[in-house]
Structure 1
Amino acid sequence: MLAGLYLAVSPWIVGFNTTASPLMISNLIIGLTVALLALGFASAFGRTHGLAWTVPLMGAWAIVSPWLMNGVDTTGGMIASNVIVGAVIMLCGLGSSGFGTLFNPRR
């Protein structure tokens, strides 16, 4: 959840150059989504474990988004922030997906 919240506020922490860049909006949306999914996993994993596969995809998007977004003037800090937090989100998402397959109530 903390990685998602950091991704959401990272444009203001790292200091993105423009105020409404596509990367800023992407980080905000993906970060808040990851944080809300983590909150759902923590409170009701039995009902939400089916969505755990989406978190590693969001982490992968956070990693590659600085290079794929049009009209973004990237700096080293922006790229490093997205790559590191994207890797953390991806690893945590893979872990939660693994727990979902371990504790699957339908077995």
Structure 2
Amino acid sequence: LKFNRLATLSTDKDEITAALQMSTIIEVSDDKSKVRRVTSLPQLDDEFKRSVMKRTAYVKGFPLDEKLDSILEFFSDYGTENVIMRNYRNKKQKCYMFKGFFKFILSM
């Protein structure tokens, strides 16, 4: 419950647990204190890496102070599957966006 983005949605532990229990990819422990994946992660072999690269596009030009919500809205027509934003020590951000058949890497 220490994720800032989650805290903007809810800080109610019971509400968060109830939402997590509806997930098809994670399961909540009986005592509701832990979560884990239901499905295993894919093997990170050469074939998987080639598959990802075939679905990858590189996009740049977003301002350094761009917010995640703004980026999500910009790409909303493509059906976001996953978004990861990273802030590096040099203050630059990179955002990895898994979108349908493409993976967008946003470099500031």
TM-score, shorter chain, exceeding 0.5: no
Tell which has more relative contact order, 1 or 2 (C-alpha 8 A, sep 6+).
1
TM-score normalized by the length of structure 2: 0.26
Q: Where is the helix percentage greater, Structure 1 or Structure 2?
A: 1
TM-score by length of structure 1 reads: 0.26
**The structure with more strand, counted as a fraction of residues:** 2
